[in-house]
Structure 1
Amino acid sequence: MTLIGGYVAQRTGDRRHLVLGLAAGLMLGVVAFDLLPEAMRAAPDEIHGVPQALLMFAVGFLVIHIVERAVAIHRGHEGEYAEHTHGHRHSHHGPQAQGIGLTAAGALVGHSLMDGFAIGAAFQAGSTVGTVVAIAVVAHDFADGFNTYTITRLYGNNRRRALTLLGADALAPVTGAAITLLFTIPEQLLGLYLGFFAGFLLYLATSDILPEAHSPHPSRTTLLCTLAGVAFMWLVIGLAS
């Protein structure tokens, strides 16, 4: 499913703005319906009245914001987007921008690894629970593969790097499930990681991907794709719960 998601992302052509709109919706859905609730369950302890998971959520958002500001690659300016052409879409991105894309895709691979941990732990609790969790992971691995390829390319990385990370993302859940045969990650630490990653994804979706999707083609269709992405994740999480 991860590879299928990446394949769909590659075959977008002139409908790139629709793909980005859908990717943003999928990411928002993952954050709101999957990552944050799971993080809150795993790390509910409070620091000065705020759950640790939500503190890490804010930290994740701010860390990627500070990094983008520090290397001066934030691309939230419509004038820049207006200069994009389909033939030279990534030509203005420098090494720092490519590094952000690789980091984001690497974080998605890490998330998929954690998905594998979840499958392994669920099967230790029972075959029925394990099957439900596995179905949920397989369903949203399509979104992971789609987003891994899209984010890597969005930040100016070449197709070979994007495919390499897509392959790593496809192998990650299997690896994570296998590792649970040896040991498990403490639940508290897992919750903090999920909260941090949720903030990271929310920043990318709202600050980079949505402006990129709407500036060259400000259309209702793009907005509908974003809504469809959110609705799809709601459906997936609802079926798994």
Structure 2
Amino acid sequence: MAVFVALGAFLMTLAGGWTAQRVTDRRHLVLGLAGGLMLGVVGLDLLPEALHAADREIFGVPAALLLFVAGFLLAHLVERTLAARQAAHGGAEGPGHRAPEVGLAAAAAMVGHSAMDGVAIGAAFQVGGGMGTAVALAVIAHDFADGFNTFTITSLYGNARRRAIAMLVADACAPLAGALSTAFFHIPEAVLGGYLGLFGGVLLYLAAAEILPEAHHEHPARSTLLCTVAGAAFIWLVVGLSGG
């Protein structure tokens, strides 16, 4: 089931890359909705399940929450490190000159992240169908932005269109590979809870620091905010219908 659902992530990533070549003025609404879905999954489903599965405390704090904070900080560290390297390279080469390998490295990092998205889908389905569905919705929505950004950043740094398409296809296949890997082993409940907490932190960072700011960057419209609220409310509905 997890592999089948990961096909949705595969198709959504390709759709994001296709849209990157034919971007319209409605992109901010799609990203606003994606941010709301991700926020809803983290706050209403991932964290409660992580706290239930990983009930151990470390120095008075639930281990799942510590890993949640660690996931947020890890994503922030990776993003800042990559930004610093890009800025340093740009300063060395001068304005207007971009190195193709910088774009390829950034795209490769996104491919690795997409593979972990697939693992998250598989791990969530090991908990239950409702949890798997909610996580899959967030990952699929997020993968649209992933595909969009993978193609864009590869092209932005001077790579040929065929390289950008190759990185896009790799990013689309990564969730399938990640989900398939979970079919060969069962994750212990405590480990699963810790991983879901860590993944929740990463997901929240992507929503709060990348997806939503990008959605409101050039279009601070009320409709974008409404899409974000609708995304979070939809996850609330999914959680409620699945019995939590």
- For the aligned pair, the TM-score class normalised by the smaller chain equals 0.7 to 0.9
Aligned identity (percent) is 41
- The 1:116–1:67 alpha-carbon spacing in structure 2 relative to 1, beyond 3 Å, is closer
CA distance in 2, matches of 1:234, 1:48: 32
Deviation at 1:102, TM superposition (A): 4.6
**C-alpha distance 96-60 of structure 1, shift in aligned 2 (>3 A):** farther
Aligned-residue offset at 1:223: 0.6
**Judging changes above 3 Å, is the alpha-carbon distance between structure 1 residues 7 and 97 closer, same or farther for their aligned structure 2 residues?**
closer
Instruction: Indicate the residue corresponding to 1:213 in structure 2.
Output: 215
Q: Is the 8 A contact 2:82 2:106 kept in 1?
A: no
Checking the alignment, whether the CA contact within 8 Å between 1:5 and 1:141 is kept in structure 2 is no
**Aligned residues between the structures:** 211
Q: Please state how far the C-alpha of 1:105 moved relative to its aligned partner.
A: 5.3
Q: Does 1:31 align with 2:39?
A: no
CA distances 1:104-131 after superposition (whole Å, capped 9, x unpaired): 5534432433433454x46xxxxxxxxx
User: What SS class does the counterpart of residue 13 from structure 1 fall into?
Assistant: coil
Which residue of 1 is the match for residue 143 of structure 2? Answer: 148
Contact 1:17–1:212 (8 Å) recurs in 2:
yes
How far apart are residue 236 of structure 1 and its match? 1.8
TM-score normalised by the chain length of structure 1 = 0.72
| Structure with greater helix share of residues | 2
Q: For the Cα contact (< 8 Å) 1:149–1:163, is it kept in 2? A: no
CA distance in structure 2 between the aligned counterparts of 1:97 and 1:192, rounded to whole angstroms:
32
Residues 135 and 57 (structure 1), Cα distance of their counterparts in 2 relative to 1, 3 Å cut: closer
2-structure distance, mates of 1:97, 1:61? 23
Which residue is 1:115 aligned to?
A: 121
**AA at the equivalent of 1:165:** D
Gaps of 5+ in 1: 75-90, 123-132
Any conservation in 2 of the 1:5–1:142 contact (CA below 8 Å)? no
Return the TM-score normalized by structure 2. Answer: 0.71
1:166 corresponds to 2:138: no
What are the residue-to-residue correspondences of 1:1-241 with 2, within 5 Å?
1-6=8-13, 9=16, 10-11=18-19, 13-14=23-24, 15-72=26-83, 99=105, 102-103=108-109, 106-119=112-125, 121=126, 133-134=128-129, 137-138=132-133, 141-154=136-149, 156-157=153-154, 158-170=164-176, 172-176=178-182, 178-179=183-184, 183-241=185-243
1:207-229 Cα offsets, whole Å, 9 max, x none, are 11111110111101111111111
Give the letter aligned to residue 2 of structure 1: A
Give the aligned residue type for 1:189: V
Instruction: Give the match's secondary structure for 1:202.
Output: helix
SS at match of 1:217: coil
